[in-house]
C-alpha cells in the first residue's frame, strides 16, 4: 500500500527553557542509512561531547517507543547543543515515518533556514564496494556551500552515484532554499551497522572543528562486530563442509 504525504501533518520543534539557536551555529544530523553511519556518528558526537539536551521534534507519526539512557528517558527525535562550537545535533533514533517523510523533512529544512544556521552537516554512509582509491570519504555540497568546501579536503561524490533516503531529501530541500549544507559520506559495509565507518567520520569532524570526541568506543564496537561476523562465516563454512558428507 502506498502512502500519500501531505504538508498538513503536525511538525513541531519543542525547545526547553526558552532556548534560542544563536545565529551562525552549525546543524548536524545523520539518519539510519547505509551502515547506520549517520545515526551512529551524530549520536556518538552528542554523547562524547556531553552536549546538553535542548529539545525534541514532535509529529503526527511519532514512533511509539521511548527508552532509558543514563537513567534518563530518551525520545525518538532529540536536539542537543554543544556550546563550545555552537553546534546543534539532531539525534533521530528512528527514521521519520514513510507516510510523513516529505513533509517532515520540508519542515526541518524550513526550521534550519529560519534559525540562520551557518552550515548544515548531514552525515551518512556510502557503499564500500564503490571505493576505488585511498580516500575514506566523499561529499555532496549544496551550491551555497561551495565557498567553504575547501576546509574538508574531501573529494566530491562521483557522477552516476546517488545519495538516497531522508539525507538526500534534506540536501535537496536545503539546495532549493539556497542554504549552505554538505552531505559527508564515509565508505561503509552494507547490511550491518558499521561503527568503524562512523569513527572515520568523527575523526574528520574532530580535525576540521578542533573537537575532541573520543572514538575508542566506536572502534571497540567495530572489532566486536567483525569478530562476530568472522564467527558466523566460520560456522556457515563448517556447516557447508558437513553437508558434503550427508
At 49, which CATH number?
3.40.50.10900
What is the per-residue pLDDT for 227? 63
Domain membership of residue 230 (yes or no) is no
Cell, residue 32: 539510519
Residue 51 domain boundaries: 11-218
Domain membership of residue 243 (yes or no) is no
What is the per-residue pLDDT for 5? 45
Q: Tell me if 5 sits within 8 A of 99, measured CB to CB.
A: yes
For the entire predicted model, the pTM comes to 0.87
pLDDT in tens, the chain (246 residues): 344 444 566 899 999 999 999 999 999 999 988 998 999 999 989 999 999 999 999 999 998 888 898 889 999 999 999 999 999 999 999 999 988 999 999 999 999 999 999 999 999 999 999 898 999 999 999 999 999 999 999 999 999 889 999 999 999 999 999 999 999 999 998 888 898 899 999 999 999 999 999 888 887 876 665 665 565 556 656 554 444 444
Please give the Cα distance from 212 to 108 (Å, whole number).
28
Q: Which of 33, 215, 195, 218 is nearest to 127 (CA)?
A: 33
Cell, residue 209: 572543528
Domain membership of residue 25 (yes or no) is yes
Domain membership of residue 236 (yes or no) is no
What is the per-residue pLDDT for 192? 84
Q: What is the DSSP string of 32-80?
A: S-GGGHHHHHHHHHHHHTTPEEEEEEEETT--S--EEETTEEE-SEEEE
What is the per-residue pLDDT for 183? 98
Q: Tell me if 202 sits within 8 A of 218, measured CB to CB.
A: yes
Domain membership of residue 228 (yes or no) is no
Helix, strand, coil % over all residues of the chain, rounded to 5: 45, 25, 35
Q: Domain count of the chain?
A: 1
What is the per-residue pLDDT for 76? 93
Domain membership of residue 113 (yes or no) is yes
Domain membership of residue 224 (yes or no) is no
Name 15's bridge partners.
55
Domain membership of residue 100 (yes or no) is yes
Helix pair angle (37-48, 195-209), 10° resolution:
50
Amino acid at each position: 500500500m502506498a502512502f500519500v504525504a501531505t504538508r498538513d501533518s503536525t511538525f513541531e520543534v519543542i525547545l526547553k527553557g526558552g532556548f534560542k539557536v544563536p545565529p551562525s551555529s552549525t546543524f548536524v544530523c545523520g539518519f539510519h542509512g547505509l551502515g547506520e553511519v549517520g545515526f551512529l556518528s551524530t549520536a556518538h558526537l552528542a554523547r562524547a561531547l556531553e552536549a546538553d539536551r535542548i529539545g525534541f521534534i514532535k509529529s503526527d507519526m511519532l514512533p511509539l517507543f521511548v527508552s532509558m539512557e543514563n537513567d534518563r528517558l530518551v525520545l525518538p527525535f532529540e536536539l542537543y547543543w554543544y556550546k563550545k562550537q555552537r553546534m546543534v545535533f539532531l539525534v533521530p533514533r528512528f527514521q521519520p515515518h514513510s507516510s510523513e517523510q516529505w513533509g517532515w523533512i520540508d519542515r526541518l529544512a524550513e526550521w534550519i533556514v529560519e534559525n540562520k544556521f551557518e552550515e548544515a552537516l548531514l552525515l551518512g554512509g556510502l557503499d564500500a564496494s564503490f571505493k576505488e582509491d585511498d580516500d575514506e570519504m566523499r561529499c555532496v555540497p549544496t551550491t551555497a556551500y561551495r565557498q567553504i568546501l575547501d576546509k574538508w579536503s574531501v573529494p566530491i561524490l562521483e557522477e552516476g552515484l546517488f545519495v538516497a533516503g531522508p539525507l538526500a531529501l534534506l540536501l535537496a530541500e536545503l539546495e532549493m532554499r539556497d542554504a549552505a549544507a554538505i552531505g559527508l559520506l564515509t565508505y561503509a559495509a552494507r547490511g550491518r551497522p558499521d561503527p568503524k565507518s562512523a569513527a572515520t567520520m568523527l575523526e574528520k569532524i574532530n580535525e576540521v572543528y578542533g573537537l575532541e570526541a573520543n572514538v575508542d568506543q566506536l572502534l571497540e564496537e567495530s572489532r566486536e562486530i567483525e569478530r562476530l561476523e568472522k564467527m558466523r562465516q566460520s560456522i556457515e563454512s563448517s556447516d557447508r563442509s558437513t553437508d558434503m558428507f550427508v
